[in-house]
Structure 1
Amino acid sequence: MTRILLLLALLLSVASCTSVDVDRYADQQPAFNLEHFFSQPVKAWGMFQKRNGEVAKRFEVNIVSRREGNNLILDERFVYSDGSRQRRVWTLTPEGQGRWSGRADDVVGVAKGQVAGNTLHWRYRLNLPVGDSTYEMSMDDWMYLMDEDTLINRTRMSKFGVEVGQVTLFFRRQGVGTSQ
């Protein structure tokens, strides 16, 4: 039992030491303006990979946004490779100094994010349905603005500090001046 606890403590300490501070990207361009990027419809393509690298699911997302007072509302519509569909509506609130908070029905508590340079880093817990069960996953979400219309997202999913998989997404703004 002592060995198991020692191993778990070691895994947790290694996982916590690998975190990069978002401020590292403060000078990176183009500067990511969350409200501007989502000011027109966005299409995204993504995949979930198990920790061994196997692609378990692919998906497309259509995102439209609107303003409600100070809040930015992102309405995401997912279509998965198995034909299933999902909708997530985020309410994002600016907290000042590049910080954001976010809420959605399947997010546990409040997501916390910070923008620096071309990068947005989110951390939150997500209730993830798998078959007939739902698992609470910790999400470590990094978004990188590549150009005015292209955003790349990498998310590390973990449970009890142990990575269970990753999500990779490519976002493209749709509309005037972009290829659709």
Structure 2
Amino acid sequence: MKRFWLLFVALFGLWGCSTVDIEDYRAEKPVLELRDYFNGTLDAWGIFQDRSGKVVKRFHVLIEASWQGEVGTLDERFTYSDGSTQRRVWTITRLGAGRYTGRADDVVGEANGEAAGNALRWRYVLALPVDGKVYNVDFDDWMFLMDDKVMLNRSLMSKWGFRLGEVTLSFVKREAG
């Protein structure tokens, strides 16, 4: 009987958990317009933490971003603390009403994004190489515009619903000119 009550309490606790909705940020300022923020040169600094919270990678990303109408290109060049490098080129399409889709070579299928107020939620599956194997990992990104230069990003990584780790990034937009 004790096991039954423990299971009941655990399940009730899960049902009671609410999820954050992008609409929760609709009134937040400054308003994030992807075409404005991701336009020009940006720097980002980040860390990857495993599920225990240990920082296992640090990195810098140089981003060259531009738009042609409703289609944007983000050319990301990663430099990791161990000296390794990586490049990812995103093609992002603005669908209207705060919705976006995106593609990159290591993204499985299509990424889907939704913006409201100062926030963007970006969800996708990334083909992640680890020790000679490739794993398809779910990413749930939340980006928050702090001002016209700074944006913070928190990405939760999971596989089959199990949390694998977290990526935290700070973007800084360079002055034009």
Both structures adopt the same fold (TM-score exceeding 0.5): yes
Matched with 2:141 is: 141
CA separation in 2, counterparts of 1:58 and 1:35? 27
SS in 2 for 1:142: strand
Matched with 1:170 is: 170
AA of the residue aligned to 2:135: Y
Equivalences for residues 120-131 of structure 1 within 5 A? 120-131=120-131
Matched with 1:153 is: 153
CA separation in 1, counterparts of 2:173 and 2:122? 20
SS in 1 for 2:146: strand
Deviations 1:56-98 (Å, cap 9, x if unpaired)? 1000000001224431000000000111100000000011100
AA of the residue aligned to 1:41: T
Matched with 2:3 is: none
| Structure 2 length-normalised TM | 0.89
AA of the residue aligned to 1:141: D
CA separation in 2, counterparts of 1:127 and 1:39? 26
The farther-off stretch of 47-56 and 66-75 is 66-75
CA separation in 2, counterparts of 1:74 and 1:147? 20
Give the CA deviation at 1:131.
Answer: 1.8
CA separation in 2, counterparts of 1:164 and 1:47? 14
What runs of 5+ residues in structure 1 fail to find an aligned partner? 1-6
Equivalences for residues 109-124 of structure 1 within 5 A? 109-124=109-124
CA separation in 2, counterparts of 1:43 and 1:18? 33
CA separation in 1, counterparts of 2:98 and 2:80? 32
Matched with 1:61 is: 61
Deviating 4+ runs (over 4 angstroms) = none
What runs of 5+ residues in structure 2 fail to find an aligned partner? 1-6
CA separation in 2, counterparts of 1:18 and 1:52? 23
Give the CA deviation at 1:39.
Answer: 1.5
Matched with 1:19 is: 19
Q: 1:18 to 1:60 in 2, by over 3 A?
A: farther
Matched with 2:101 is: 101
SS in 1 for 2:40: coil
Matched with 1:35 is: 35
| Structure 1 length-normalised TM | 0.88
The farther-off stretch of 106-115 and 60-69 is 60-69
C-alpha contact (below 8 Å) 2:40/2:176 kept by paired residues: no
CA separation in 2, counterparts of 1:154 and 1:94? 22
